[in-house]
Structure 1
Amino acid sequence: MTGYDDYGLPVGAYSEPEGLGRQAYRVARAFLLYRVKPVAERGIHQMRSGRWTWRSLFSLVRVLIVGWCFVVFWGERRLFANSVDACEWENWENWPAGANPHRLLFVADPQLVDPHTYPGRPWPLNTLTVKYTDLYMRRAYSRIQRVLYPDTVMFLGDLFDGGREWSTATSASPETRYRKYGDNFWLKEYNRFGTIFLDHWGDGGMIPRPGQPGKKIISTLPGNHDLGFGKGVQAGVRKRFHTYFGEGNRIDIIGNHTFVSIDSVSLSAMAQENSDSVQELWKPTLEFLDGSKKQKQRLIQRELRTMQGLRPNLPMSHEMIELDGLAKAQLPHFGEPVTEFPTVLLSHVPLYRAEGTPCGPMREHWPPTPPPKGQTEPLVKDNRNAISVSGGYQYQNVLLREITRDVADKVGNIQYAFSGDDHDYCEVVHRGYTSGGGGIKEITVKSISWAMGVRHPGVVLVSMWNPVDGRGNPLEKTDLPTLQTHLCLLPDQLGIFIRYALFFALTLLLLLVRAALIASGRVTVAQPVESPILPTTNEPEKPQGPYDPTSSNSSTSSDRGKLQVRNARTRSTSPSQGYGLPMTQSKYTYPLVQHAGFYGDEEDGKKEPKSWGTVSTKRSKPKKKGFALFAQEFRNSMTVVAGVVLSFYFWLIWNG
């Protein structure tokens, strides 16, 4: 039995309106069925009937279709393939023969576009930006996984753009306009991140390369757009991030290198005013740093024992642990001293450097300033090419000097550092901090998104080779570093759109010129011949024989050889005479089926069509001339080009 809701309406009688995706599908389907399909069928019919010639084959419309298909395939496929293929490991790695390096991929600042990114951008522009940035990152990331097949993938923070603004049960955004976005919206963004990156992590396969322990992906490092910065970090927002991604402070042994990740955005609250009131923000990272040297030794020792096939840890002792000490309890470990691996520091916010410290020639937005005439060395101070030492609401371009020095001292033996946040590439050697010798080489990784202010997004590839013995001592005595890097640039999506726009303008111009030439009579085109739906009938031949009305034996005269249609429609008013043709009006008893489809002579000044030769019995419309012909030709040619090209374009998008 059908139920009724509170308004007295049958339950299920009404449904939600169709979404934009469904409506777009219906419009596209109707366009293909009623615009593109008839034109394609007519072309196939012409081809089968032999009416295609070399001249028609190379007509302007067909040339434009071929040109558009080439341009679209080049922009949606070949550019991505060429960019990633140029980054093949063998093209830039420089290891001794027989080396089997561990290969790692750094991804920085995806910053998924959301309502926080462009708050004033209207629909549908904002929706298209979301769709195309996601498509770009998914396509590039998938291609990297399939072609480069890295052993480890690490993210350097700012996974979301407005993650810090979306409310939790215990926190809310400082800005009123974002308070309506809560946990449900954040979870949708989390699922969106997984659809782009996590779901495509295994596109190249999940089998480890020979000699490698396995594939790994780490996305725990938070950025200021994920949590906020300093005292702007809210405890509820940080707990939510840790719940779904993991702790931001961690140590990983990868490729015989020690990777130390620190939550630098929370640690920065330690140097701000009234920092004692927010100890819960910076204290966990500070405690992590205090124990990082011992933790590195334990993890290196466990890794070496695992490599030798030994038990990595001692068995757990059977003793009671107090509740308050359970969080800090550790597994027993072997206390044998081992040689430390090279340490790599990971921080979302770059380390401190003096203002104007150059970032090098691979910085896209502001390349190095040319040195004065006669000077060959690059400038020591180049404000244009450097990362600005400044900050603002919920961000700071570099860590404070005191925090950077404290991190370097407590972690120790730092040889390399990788960071994000700036969106552009920057390479600096810090010589003023404790390091493993020769200074700390820091690389700030480009954003992978084309909506973050760089025309050529990118990722950084890292190749590590550090063979060691059972104690951690290097086996190979070479002058080569144990870690090599390469900046892998991705396509210029904005440049692709610009090329599409230019080719579209050229298409419009050529089709307008074509339509104008046809309208002026300077160019003629073959008109399509339409086959009639109904058969064409002519006046039947007059039979010869005993029933021939022209025969001398016939009782009718020759002027009665045609059926008078108007009289045939006159009915008898007397039932006694029967229904049908009255005997007084019937000129002869010739079978009417012989005259099927034939109309009589012109009568009373009214002209009747002679045959059923076309779909309609009305006269065909006169051929268009002038502007009407111009508009018709332009509209028809544009419809054909757009229909074929857009179908191919959306097929490419739908298939990645």
Structure 2
Amino acid sequence: MTTHDEYGVSVGAYSETEGLTPQAWRLARAFFLYRVRPLVQGRYNELQRANWSLRRLFTLVNTLVLVWWVVLNWGERGVFDGAVESCQWDKWEDWEAGANPHRLLFVADPQLIDPHTYPGRPWPINPLAYKYTDLYLRRTYSRFQTLLYPDTVFFLGDLFDGGREWSTRTTTSPEKRYRKYGDDFWIDEYRRFGDIFFKHWADGGVDARPGQPGRKLISSLPGNHDLGFARGVQVGVRDRFNAYFGDGNRIDVIANHTFVSIDSVSLSALGQESPQQVENIWRPTKDFLENAKEQKRRLIQRELRAQQGLKPYPGMPHREIMREELATSQLPHADDDVTEFPTILLTHVPLYRAPGTPCGPLREHWPPTPPPAGQPPLEHDDRNAIAVRGGYQYQNVLSREITADIAEKVGDIRYAFSGDDHDYCEVVHKAYASAGGGIREITVKSISWAMGVRLPGVVLVSLWNPVDEHGKPMSGDASKTIQTKLCLLPDQIGTFLKYGLLFGVTFVLLVLRAALIAVGIVSIAPEVTEGPFLPTTNPSSSSAEHEKSQQQYHDYVPSPHEPHSSNSSTSSERGNLQVRTTQARTRSVSPNIGYGLPSAQQQGKYSYPLVQHAGYNPANDNDDDTKGRVKVYGQSVSTKASKPRKKRKGLALFWYECRSSLRTVIVCGFVWYVWLVWRG
């Protein structure tokens, strides 16, 4: 007869060393049986004792938390995605089949707020205003790149709000209260602008769309808040702006259209008293206008040669150049016979128009005055028009003389885009015969919600003008090469108002709930108290459960074949487990006999594996800190019933329920909101 040791291994028998895989499998199985499954079963029993159910889960408080999460996600994410998605190009472009238009975006007056915007505002209102306006600009601009992916982005001035006020090394602020803000402050504002717009330029990628030469961002056009206006422009401030953003006077050929940018805030000094005294302000723009037509022609020649695969410039003639001619010598230019591309004028300050010229139905702040029944729209509407006036460091429109000079010197202007007004305005200037039918000017809305408009916006432009080798439109109509779309952005103030309305509804519902609970109309689930972990009696225990427990023990520790003289606990009945004495916890046999493992006869009386008593130390029996606690799976568990929570009635119960439920909703909603804001 084969004998076995206390672990069930045959004595004297030869056996191969067990591999790592079976050992790992046995260890994992034991861990599941005696660690994971009891823990899960215990949690399940606790939930059963707490009457856990779907009804308990979907309480009013939990429902309000869920509603707040949905509304906050909508206000911080959904409204931005929906607004930009509604402006998708294919939803409004109307070109011939097979067209591949160039897509362009005009951004006006981001006007980053700073100490100049709201002087005297206390902390923390100003920092919060900075945070939320920058966050709004970053969110909308990033979605332009990811959802619309424009080929070109033009900024139309007023990049900063107080840029003209910050001193340089050679200039000081015109206002005494701003002289403490120097050049370093302006550099910090430049970095702030870059973090919002330059940094997120590539959020959608950097590669050109198929059929397009590349992507481009141009932000060199200055506004009156960047430089000042007319005689208020300081050359040092303008030089600093040009050094970081580029010259405000420039010409770009894009998609067979010529874009002419004019530093109109500096040019306006020409129309004021004693212009000779400030010639250094207006002279650069004036000289640029004098050469605008010739420069346009040269750039068109270069563009057409590049499209044909030729060099932009003809070959340099081999001749001797005298030293005195070097200062005036120029590169040779092509003398090709070309047709002028449609010209688009860009200026921060809108062109002159007669007082009362209406801006059209898309103007938000002052919509058109309703005409009499059966009459066409009013031709003179002061309410809907841009006011023709000016003040300190600003002028709503350019002077009549400067506007006429620009139209004549640039020539063939079909469209003009401007900023400054913060609201949308569309006007056809029929007084200027440029391009035959007048100049259609669109004043672009501000992109910032802090500039007096509830619905900020940008203007999308689609350009399609296929030409022959001489620049003539293949369609035969150069007046139909541009399509525009006003893209409105979310109402941030309206979002905040909706948050406030929801908070009011939440407060009222929770107060009503607390009142109904206090008067006893609505009952709440009783507080759950823990009973003793080790039961003193278990009459309902079935023999099947006992045998299942026995089998789990046999799976892990095989039964020894030799009986032992002692057991670890005594039991008068199978289902009655009594507390052991100190003597009963000590080993009754020597370790070399079996470490006190129960015999086969004793296993019928003991239904739990001894591994649950691991870590027991009899010396702690009389310790006050450990009274009423036992070690189960290495963790200290209380065997005492917790004290029932103090019962509240009347006003105390009302205040407790109102306060605790409101706190739960606020904390859960606030954590979610902070995460949404932190993630941008």
Identify whether the pair has TM-score above 0.5, normalized to the shorter chain: yes
Q: What's the CA shift for 1:74?
A: 1.4
Query: CA 1:594–1:344 in 2, change beyond 3 Å: closer, same or farther?
Result: closer
TM superposition shift of 1:274: 1.7
* Bigger shift: residues 436-445 or 642-651: 642-651
Aligned to 2:415: 416
Which residue does the alignment assign to 1:460? 459
Q: Which residue of 1 aligns with 2:521?
A: 522
1:49–1:322 CA distance, 2 compared to 1 (3 A): farther
2:657 is the counterpart of 1:641: no
The DSSP-based 3-state class of the residue aligned with 1:115 is: coil
Relative to 1, partners in 2 of residues 1:653 and 1:425: Cα closer, same or farther, differing over 3 Å?
Answer: same
Q: Within 2, Cα distance between the matches of 1:498 and 1:44?
A: 44
- In the TM superposition, residue 320 of structure 1 has moved relative to its aligned partner by 6.0
- Indicate the residue corresponding to 1:651 in structure 2: 675
* Counterpart residue number, 2:172: 172
Determine if the alignment matches structure 1 residue 624 to structure 2 residue 645.
no
Q: Does 2:126 match 1:126?
A: yes
Distance change in 2, residues 1:598/1:496 (3 Å): closer
Does the 8 Å contact 1:537/1:597 carry over to 2?
Answer: no
Q: Which residue of 1 aligns with 2:383?
A: 384
1:613 aligned partner: 640
Please give the residue correspondences for 1:261-340 in structure 2 after superposition, counting only pairs within 5 Å.
261-315=261-315, 330-340=330-340
Which 5+ residue runs of structure 1 have no aligned equivalent?
Answer: 1-42, 539-590, 600-610
Q: Which range moves more in the overlay, 305-314 or 160-169?
A: 305-314
CA-CA distance at 1:474 after TM superposition: 1.2
Letter in 2 for 1:284: P
Change (3 A) 1:261 1:137: same
Q: Is the 8 A contact 2:459 2:484 kept in 1?
A: yes
Amino acid at match of 1:410: K
Deviations 1:4-32 (Å, cap 9, x if unpaired)? Answer: xxxxxxxxxxxxxxxxxxxxxxxxxxxxx
Q: Secondary structure at the match of 2:163?
A: coil
Kindly provide the amino acid, as one letter, of the partner of residue 522 in structure 1: I
Aligned 8 A contact 2:252 2:259 in 1: yes
Contact 2:50 2:528 in 1 (8 A): no
Q: In 2, distance between residues paired with 1:81 and 1:46? A: 44
Cα deviation 1:198-221 (Å, max 9, x = unaligned): 111111111111110000000000
2:417 partner SS: strand
Instruction: After superposition, give the CA deviation of every residue in 1:150-209 in whole Å (9 maximum; x if it has no partner).
Output: 000000000000000011111111211111111111111101111111111111111111
Matches of 1:277 and 1:598, distance apart in 2: 91
Q: Counterpart amino acid of 1:414?
A: I
* Distance in 1 (alpha carbons) for counterparts of 2:393 and 2:45: 65
Shift of 1:522: 2.3
Deviates more, 1:408-417 or 1:507-516: 507-516
Same amino acid, percent of matched pairs: 62
The residue identity in structure 2 corresponding to 1:628 is A
Partner SS for 2:512: helix
State the Cα distance separating 1:57 from its structure 2 match.
Answer: 2.0
Counterpart Cα distance in 2 of 1:70 and 1:634: 23
Give me the whole-angstrom Cα distance separating, in 2, the residues matched to 1:520 and 1:391: 66
**Which amino acid in the other structure matches residue 513 of structure 1?**
L
Report how far residue 314 of structure 1 moved.
3.1
SS at match of 2:487: strand
Q: 1:366 deviation in Å?
A: 0.3
Amino acid across the alignment from 2:165: E
Alignment of 1:561-580 (within 5 A): none
The whole-number CA distance in structure 2 between the counterparts of 1:191 and 1:323 is 45
State the alpha-carbon separation in 2 of the partners of residues 146 and 283 from structure 1.
Answer: 41
Alpha-carbon distance, 1:516 to partner: 1.8
Q: 2:168·2:237 contact (CA, 8 Å) conserved in 1?
A: yes
AA matched with 1:223? G
Tell me the amino acid that sits aligned with residue 120 of structure 1: G
Which letter does structure 1 place at the counterpart of 2:489?
L
Task: State the alpha-carbon separation in 2 of the partners of residues 408 and 44 from structure 1.
Answer: 81
CA contact (8 A) 1:314 1:331 kept: no
1:155 corresponding residue in structure 2: 155
Deviation by residue 1:480-528 (Cα, 9 ceiling, x = unmatched): 7101100000111110000000000111111111122222222221244
> TM-score with structure 2 length normalisation?
0.76
Q: Give the 3-state SS of the residue equivalent to 2:664 in structure 1.
A: helix
Q: CA deviation at 1:595?
A: 7.6
Name the stretch that deviates more: 502-511 or 216-225.
502-511
CA pair 592-319 structure 1, distance change in 2 beyond 3 A: closer
Residues 22-49 of structure 1, C-alpha deviations (whole Å, 9 max, x = no match): xxxxxxxxxxxxxxxxxxxxx9997687
Q: Distance in 2 between matches of 1:356 and 1:155?
A: 27
Trace 1:346-425 onto structure 2 (pairs within 5 A): 346-375=346-375, 377-425=376-424
- The 5 Å alignment of 1:139-150 reads 139-150=139-150
Cα offset, 1:319, TM superposition: 6.3
1:146-225 pair list within 5 angstroms: 146-225=146-225
Where does residue 630 of structure 2 map in the other structure? none
1:234 equivalent to 2:220? Answer no
> Which residue matches 1:503?
502
Query: How far is 1:325 from its partner?
Result: 7.4
Q: Distance between the aligned counterparts of 2:301 and 2:95, measured in 1? A: 26
- Residue 324 of structure 1 and its aligned partner are, at CA, apart by 11
Distance 1:313 1:256 in 2: 19
Q: CA deviation at 1:647?
A: 1.6
- Offset, 1:622: 3.3
Rounded to whole Å, the distance in 1 between the matches of 2:469 and 2:162 is 47
Looking at structure 2, the residues matched to 162 and 592 of structure 1 have their Cα atoms a distance apart, in angstroms, of 76
1:380-436 C-alpha deviation (Å, 9 max, x unpaired): 100000000000000000000000000000000101000000000000000111311
Q: What is the TM-score with the length of structure 1 in the denominator? A: 0.79
Amino acid at match of 2:525: A
User: Structure 1 CA distance, aligned partners of 2:277 and 2:176?
Assistant: 25
User: Are the equivalent residues in 2 in contact too, given 1:455–1:493 (CA < 8 A)?
Assistant: yes
**Counterpart-to-counterpart distance in 1, 2:650 and 2:514:** 10
TM-fit CA distance, 1:652: 1.6
Structure 1 residues 535 and 439 mapped into 2: Cα distance closer, same or farther (>3 Å)? same
Matched residue pairs, number?
Answer: 548
